[in-house]
A and B are shown apart, each in its own frame.
Chain A
Amino acid sequence: MIKFVKALSIVIAVLLLQTTIFPYYLLAPFHPNLLVIMVVYLGLRSKSPFGALAAFSLGLLHDCFSGIYFGLNGFSYLCIFHALHKTADRLYTDSRYLMVLTVFFATIVTGLFNMLLLFIFSAANGIYATLLSSLIPQALVNALIASLIFMMPASVVAEEP
């Protein structure tokens, strides 16, 4: 229960940072997506049977505060989680560099999933140009933030929800 409350407060803090604090100080393509970092963490290090549910919930939470397509990030985050969770056994997941690299690629893959779903299901023509141009800057910023987060001692980094 305490773990859950702790994780929930971290998620709320992350959402506040992402929607209220970062946009105030940073320009649009350079807003970090902290939720992706959490999903990567869950995918690589979580042993919880609720990891997938947590990743999907994080995606839905992101959708509550982004765009008009509810479930878009829910799907993308779930895909990322499963892909990472299946390969985690074969990777040295304690490595900080691996985490940073994975966050970078996970951000790009999430964006590409978003683009694919928008292409199939929505009529938002022209979003691809905006999305693709924002993807690399966001992936770099996410990697930078991830490097800072995973530089902390393991006890400080959040436990999985």
Chain B
Amino acid sequence: MIELFNKYKVYLLVGLSLLAALIFYSLHLKNREHASPLERSVMNVMAPASKLGSAGNGFFSGLWSDYLDLVNVRRENKELRRIIKLYNARETESREALMANERLKSLLELKTSTQVPSLAAGVIGEDGSPWFKTLFLDRGAAEGLQEGMPVVAVDGVIGRLVKVAAESSRVLLLTDHASGIAAVVQRSRARGVVKGTGDGRCSLEFTLRDEDVKVGDVIVTSGVGGGFPKGLKVGEVTMVKKGAYGIFQTVEVRPAVNISRLEEVLVLLQQTYD
């Protein structure tokens, strides 16, 4: 018997161990959803180590992915900056186009409301000296412009053409010292000549002392002399001074048009107005 046992000891022990394992397994089948005390102990022991390992794993994984990201991030950053610049430029362009559209729309309204044939022109430059006030337009004799033609904007009179070349021309602004426009006070019909004072303002000259002129009065072209059509807005009275002597009063006029911000103007193609 002992001999037989010794002969098959190994197989027997293996069989017994397998049986024990099977029994152990079958015993735990009933509570398979609950951790056994052994399982719990092992889990408790391993949990911190697992956490640490997991964190380390995350760290190394992050390090690797961050490194990979870094490789591309500079290029991506450059590309994004370029795109942002592009979008900024496009936004500025569209805003400019929107504003140009508004200005041109109002110029078109003026063009349709004016009885006289007219031509729109763009401002391309200003006077080379600070004491003269002229503007350059991008239209000239080739489009039918001639010296003396009135130039207006949406808000009122700007001046008249003085030097016309084939493809460009110059406007003598109403604020230049050499400019003179026959005008009347819209309310009282007091007459005078609007002359430039060179500092962006004008004065209404040769208005008799007894004439009724008040601050805030609107000055319009009188049509006298035929240089400008009647009734175009020139400006607004900002100061009236009547000295003790003299037959004229001093009237300061603020031009209706902000000349420093002009971009488009309308040239009236008729030279004389009766």
Chain B residue numbers with a CB within 8 Å of A67 are 127, 129, 131-132, 134, 178
A29 in contact with B130 (CB, 8 Å): yes
Choose from B130, B163, B197, B200 the contact partner of A138 (Cβ within 8 Å).
B130
A124 to B, closest residue via Cβ: B177
Interface size of B by Cβ–Cβ distance < 8 Å? 22
Restricting to B175-198, which residues have a CB under 8 Å from any CB of A? 176-178, 195, 197-198
Restricting to B152-172, which residues have a CB under 8 Å from any CB of A? 162-163, 172
Does B199 interact with chain A (Cβ within 8 Å)? Answer: yes
Known: A19-B126, A33-B129, A130-B177. Contact between A68 and B199, CB under 8 A?
Answer: no
Known: A29-B130, A66-B134, A68-B163. Contact between A122 and B125, CB under 8 A?
Answer: no
Interface residues on A, range: 20 to 34
B172 to A, closest residue via Cβ: A68
Chain B residue numbers with a CB within 8 Å of A125 are 177
> How far apart are A132's CB and chain B's nearest CB, in angstroms?
9
Task: State A123–B205 Cα separation when bound (angstroms).
Answer: 15
B128 in contact with A130 (CB, 8 Å): no
> How far apart are A138's CB and chain B's nearest CB, in angstroms?
6
Task: State A69–B130 Cα separation when bound (angstroms).
Answer: 14
Task: State A122–B131 Cα separation when bound (angstroms).
Answer: 14
Interface residues of chain A, those whose CB is within 8 Å of chain B, are 15, 18-20, 23, 28-29, 31, 33, 35, 62, 65-68, 73, 111, 114, 122-127, 129-131, 134, 137-138
Interface residues of chain B, those whose CB is within 8 Å of chain A, are 124-132, 134, 136, 162-163, 172, 176-178, 195, 197-200
